[in-house]
């Protein structure tokens, strides 16, 4: 049904945008609190920004958003539920060295046969998996959805053009982009998190937003 | 037994389900076959009672993330090698002490959608890991002599020059080739030539440090990269190479074959490129050849 959707079906009203922003804000707040409480990762997430971009223009959009901190490392993970799409976590290259100390490996660090490169890659993936899972999971939870994830993928290069999985998003569609800046406490690491969801999720999203607001209106 | 239970029992991957306290609730036959621990023995007890090594920050952090966020966690073979210390199946024991595993962990939800347990999927990827290791070896080694190949040497050279530049470390290189190698081939045949190449490279390989990088650069031409080494000690080492080869008696089909080598030594200078270091060693080697062979020239 999505392929037949006309482009005006995507249009999200300003009010809906605001609700979505509020949901993201609550979700990311909860995610940050849980990350600190459950696994002692202290992260601050900024108020998310919402943008609508044609899928075909996504690479250009991402490129312009990250041009400030090239070269970059991108961790990409897809999520599936009613709420589905791709998450991109963008770090400045070299951040992985700082991130290794974020994860307490408890003396596990003796990967003698492993090159540092593999360790750094795996660290990026684990941090990405945890951050993306926490943020996406909380959004889904608020909207009463359950999502599953693909394994994270690290794209270490300065060309985000290859970062968009072509199969996942129909290029004729519009994507909703939720962008947030995050930084770890007491560590000189920050980055960007993009949640890109396609038009296919919009009908469901509008409905979920409506139901989300309803519970407050009833109260 | 219903269909899903039968599949759970017979599928060729390990499946484990744990509750929120990480007590095992399900343990499939695959896990029994590889661990020797029967489901009856482990169900109801903590996973750590049977596998204390799992009680690491990484494992518990991921369990918490699964329970708290409904996250999935992935334990790659590359970094973790395995979660459960099982014996490798088949003839891979020589390469790996333990079965190489790729593991996935994820949430299981109750009727109200809240996460109430964790599943772990264990895949045996030992065979793949063995092939990968073999491919990696083939990619960096010279097929005949077993020492590094030119491709690997060139990438190491680039890395070491980079390191030299960043940390201002010493770096030297010895380039050498076998004198009158064509004569060996012409007199005793190419098989004998190959035998000499193998003998010389294994002889030199036995007297260098682990951190040095010895490679076959061309036909009978070799390079040895010496990190943390100045020109003086590098030249002394080159002299040892020369003496060592000169004293070597290579037996080929009951014929004693003796060869000598000529060597050029160079040291990385400020503002050098990898090519310049190589070029100077090559020039030094050329000088050694030109001025009598079986000798060392440092530039």
Residue ranges per structural domain of chain B = 3-132, 141-298
Smallest Cβ distance to A130: which of B71, B78, B106? B71
Alpha-carbon dihedral sign for residues A23, A25, A26, A28: positive
Q: How many helices (H) and strands (E) does chain A have?
A: 5, 8
What pLDDT was estimated at residue A1?
39
Query: How would DSSP label each residue in B87-133?
Result: PPPSTTTTT-SS--EEEEEEEEE-TTS-EEEEEEEEEE-HHHHHHHH
CATH of domain B141-298: 3.30.70.270
Smallest Cβ distance to B76: which of A34, A103, A122? A122
What pLDDT was estimated at residue A161?
56
Smallest Cβ distance to A137: which of B58, B69, B79? B69
State the virtual CA torsion across A129, A130, A132, A137 in degrees, nearest 10: 120
CB within 8 Å: B72 and A149: yes
Residue B110 sits at the chain A interface (C-beta within 8 Å): no
Provide the ipTM: 0.72
pLDDT surpassing 70 at residue B186? yes
- Over residues B215-230, the mean pLDDT reads 94
CB within 8 Å: B58 and A108: yes
Residue B71 sits at the chain A interface (C-beta within 8 Å): yes
The mean of the pLDDT values for chain B is: 91
Q: What is the pTM of this model?
A: 0.71
What pLDDT was estimated at residue A187?
75
B126 vs A99, more confident: B126
Residues on chain A touching B104 (C-beta within 8 angstroms) = 151
What pLDDT was estimated at residue B237?
95
- Residues B38/B72, Cβ–Cβ less than 8 Å: no
Query: Which one of A42, A126, A146 makes the best mutation probe of the B interface by having the most chain B beta carbons within 10 Å?
Result: A126
Express each pLDDT in B103-116 by its tens digit: 999 999 988 888 99
In this structure, of B14-18, B128-132, B258-262, B284-288, the range with the lowest mean pLDDT score is B128-132
Q: How far apart are CA A148 and CA B232, in angstroms?
A: 62
pLDDT along chain A (219 residues), means of 10: 45 78 85 84 84 79 71 84 85 77 56 62 84 87 86 70 57 77 79 80 78 71
What pLDDT was estimated at residue A195?
85
CB within 8 Å: B73 and A129: yes
- Count Cβ atoms below 10 Å from residue B244 Cβ, excluding itself: 15
CATH architecture of B3-132: 2-Layer Sandwich (3.30)
Q: What percent of chain B has pLDDT over 70?
A: 99
Please name which of A70, A17, A19, A67 lies closest in space to residue A177, comparing C-alpha atoms: A17
Query: How would DSSP label each residue in B73-91?
Result: EEE-HHHHS-SS-PPPPST
Smallest Cβ distance to A133: which of B58, B65, B79? B65
What pLDDT was estimated at residue A140?
86
What pLDDT was estimated at residue A196?
83
Strand order, beta sheet including B73-75: B24-27, B14-19, B115-124, B101-109, B73-75
A residues 98-157 closer than 8 Å to B (CB)? 103-106, 108, 111, 114, 118-119, 122, 125-126, 129-130, 133-134, 137-138, 140-141, 144, 146-149, 151-152
Q: How far apart are CA B21 and CA B45, in angstroms?
A: 10
- Report residue B114: phi and psi, to 5°: -85, 150
Smallest Cβ distance to A118: which of B72, B78, B109? B78
- Over residues B82-101, the mean pLDDT reads 85
Residues 6+ away with beta carbon under 8 Å from B83: B54, B59, B75, B101, B103, B120, B122
A159 vs B162, more confident: B162
Q: What count of residues does chain A have? A: 219
- Residues A1/A41, Cβ–Cβ less than 8 Å: no
- Over residues B172-194, the mean pLDDT reads 93
Q: How confident is the model at residue B33 (pLDDT cuts 50, 70, 90)?
A: very high
Question: How far is A51 from chain B, CA to nearest CA, in Å?
Answer: 26
Question: How far is B226 from chain A, CA to nearest CA, in Å?
Answer: 20
Residue A166 sits at the chain B interface (C-beta within 8 Å): no
Q: How confident is the model at residue B238 (pLDDT cuts 50, 70, 90)?
A: very high
C-alpha distances out from residue B71 to A123, B115, B117, B298, Å:
16, 10, 12, 61
Express each pLDDT in B34-90 by its tens digit: 999 999 999 999 999 999 999 988 888 889 889 988 888 888 887 778 999 999 887
What pLDDT was estimated at residue A89?
87
CB within 8 Å: A129 and B74: yes
Q: Do domains B3-132 and B141-298 have the same CATH topology?
A: no
Query: Which one of B53, B65, B112 makes the best mutation probe of the A interface by having the most chain A beta carbons within 10 Å?
Result: B65
- Residues B285/B175, Cβ–Cβ less than 8 Å: yes
Q: How far apart are CA B32 and CA B41, in angstroms?
A: 10
Alpha-carbon dihedral sign for residues A119, A120, A122, A123: positive
Q: How far apart are CA B124 and CA B17, in angstroms?
A: 18
Residue A149: both structure tokens together: 């994830």
Residues 6+ away with beta carbon under 8 Å from B137: none
Give the CA angle between residues A21, A23, A24 to the nearest 5°. Answer: 65
Whether B220 is a known active-site residue: answer yes
Question: How far is B229 from chain A, CA to nearest CA, in Å?
Answer: 23
What pLDDT was estimated at residue A8?
46
């Amino acid at each position: 049904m999505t392929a037949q959707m006309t482009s005006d079906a995507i249009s999200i009203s300003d009010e809906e945008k605001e609700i979505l922003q509020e949901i993201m804000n609550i979700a990311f707040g909860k995610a940050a609190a849980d990350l600190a409480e459950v696994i002692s990762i202290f992260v601050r997430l900024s108020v998310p920004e919402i943008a609508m971009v044609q899928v075909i223009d996504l690479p250009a959009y991402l490129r312009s958003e990250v041009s400030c901190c090239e070269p970059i490392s991108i961790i990409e993970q897809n999520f599936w539920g009613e709420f589905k799409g791709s998450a991109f976590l963008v770090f400045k290259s070299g951040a992985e060295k700082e991130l290794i100390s974020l994860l307490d490996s408890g003396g596990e660090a003796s990967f003698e046969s492993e090159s540092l490169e593999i360790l750094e890659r795996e660290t990026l993936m684990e941090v990405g998996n945890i951050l993306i899972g926490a943020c996406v999971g909380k959004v889904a939870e608020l909207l009463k959805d359950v999502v599953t994830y693909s394994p994270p993928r690290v794209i270490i290069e300065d060309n985000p053009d290859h970062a968009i999985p072509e199969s996942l998003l129909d290029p004729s569609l519009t994507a909703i982009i939720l962008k947030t800046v995050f930084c770890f406490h007491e560590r000189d690491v920050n980055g960007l998190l993009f949640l890109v969801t396609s038009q296919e999720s919009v009908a469901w999203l509008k409905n979920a937003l409506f139901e989300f607001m309803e519970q407050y209106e009833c109260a | 037994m219903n269909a899903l239970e039968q599949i759970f029992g017979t599928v060729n991957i390990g499946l484990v389900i744990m509750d929120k306290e990480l007590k095992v609730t399900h343990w499939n036959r695959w896990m029994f076959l590889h661990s020797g621990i029967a489901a009856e023995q482990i169900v109801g007890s903590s996973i750590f009672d049977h596998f204390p090594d799992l009680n690491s920050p990484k494992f518990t952090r991921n369990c918490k993330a699964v329970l708290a966020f409904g996250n999935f966690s992935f334990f790659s073979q590359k970094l973790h090698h395995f979660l459960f210390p099982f014996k490798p199946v088949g003839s891979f024991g020589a390469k790996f002490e333990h079965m190489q595993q790729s593991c996935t962990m994820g949430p299981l939800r109750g009727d109200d959608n809240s996460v109430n347990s964790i599943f772990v999927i264990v895949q045996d990827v030992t065979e793949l890991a063995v092939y990968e290791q073999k491919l990696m070896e083939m990619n960096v080694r010279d097929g005949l002599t077993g020492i590094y190949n030119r491709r690997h040497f060139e990438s190491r050279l680039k890395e070491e020059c980079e390191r030299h530049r960043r940390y201002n470390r010493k770096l030297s290189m010895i380039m050498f080739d076998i004198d009158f190698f064509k004569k060996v081939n012409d007199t005793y045949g190419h098989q004998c030539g190959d035998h000499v190449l193998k003998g010389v490279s294994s002889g030199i390989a036995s007297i260098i440090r682990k951190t040095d990088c010895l490679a076959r650069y061309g036909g009978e031409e070799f390079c040895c990269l010496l990190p943390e080494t100045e020109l003086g000690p590098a030249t002394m080492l080159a002299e040892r190479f020369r003496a060592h080869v000169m004293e070597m008696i290579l037996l080929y089909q009951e014929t004693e074959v003796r060869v000598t080598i000529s060597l050029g030594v160079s040291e990385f200078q400020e503002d050098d490129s990898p090519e310049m270091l190589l070029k100077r060693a090559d020039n030094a080697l050329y000088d050694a050849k030109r001025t009598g062979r079986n000798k060392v020239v440092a530039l």
